[in-house]
Amino acid sequence: LGCGMLQRVGSSSRTLREQLRDKLREQSNGHVLRAWRLEVDQDGDNTLSFQELCNAMVRMGLDADVSSLWAEFGCVGPERHRKVLLADVDPEAGRIWQPFFDWCRENGGGMKTFAIIDPDMNFTLDKKQFFYGLQRAGYKASEADAFYLFDGLDLKNQGFISEETLMTMDPASSKPQKSTRRAEQAAAIRDMQKYQ
């Protein structure tokens, strides 16, 4: 294998999917979710189209038969237009990420979710604050899973996340302007306090 290349060497070699997962780990110091968010799912919709996969492969310097990789994801025949999820690339990362992603969408998006888990409104959270914020908001995750989520959200590996971190999960059309964020956060906190 050449540097950064994905190729099928024989029947005993790793699959293209496994090689992609390993490249994602390499890209982000072993953290597939962080690499997924940085390199692959750049629009933040938690899905990957064929074109997005092609673009990601180029960005990461991977040379592979993308059609074969797409087929490994089961995107052939009637399913050829389906989109790939993180769980298709790394089932364990997907097991942790997908419920959190769905929960954020149920809360009205990433910005509103951040408002719920950042009740002191300082617009940043460290790992422990993130975990306790999730617990207060009723999100069920083990400490290990919450820390994995935090590390995947901390795209710059700074040790904290900000409100903009979760905003990347909102559809472009629903991202609030900065002038409305504080009001939305205060409203979300009031809503959360109704349930406590």
Q: What tens digit of pLDDT does each residue of 93-107 get?
A: 999 999 999 999 998
Which residues contact residue 116 at a Cβ distance below 8 angstroms, ignoring those fewer than 6 apart?
107, 133, 137, 188, 189, 191, 192
Residue 13 DSSP class: S
- pLDDT band at 65, cuts 50/70/90? confident
| Exposure of 55 in the CB half-sphere (CA atoms within 13 A) | 12
- Nearest-angstrom CA–CA distance, 28 and 195: 38
Question: Can you say whether residue 13 is alpha, beta or left, with left for phi > 0 and alpha for psi between -120 and 50 degrees?
Answer: beta
* DSSP state letters, 114-134: HHHH-TT--SEEEHHHHHHHH
Phi, psi of 126 (to 5 degrees): -90, -175
pTM here is 0.78
pLDDT at 195: 52
pLDDT at 161: 94
pLDDT at 114: 92
Q: Classify residue 81 by burial, with Cβ atoms within 10 Å: 0-12, 13-18, 19+.
A: exposed
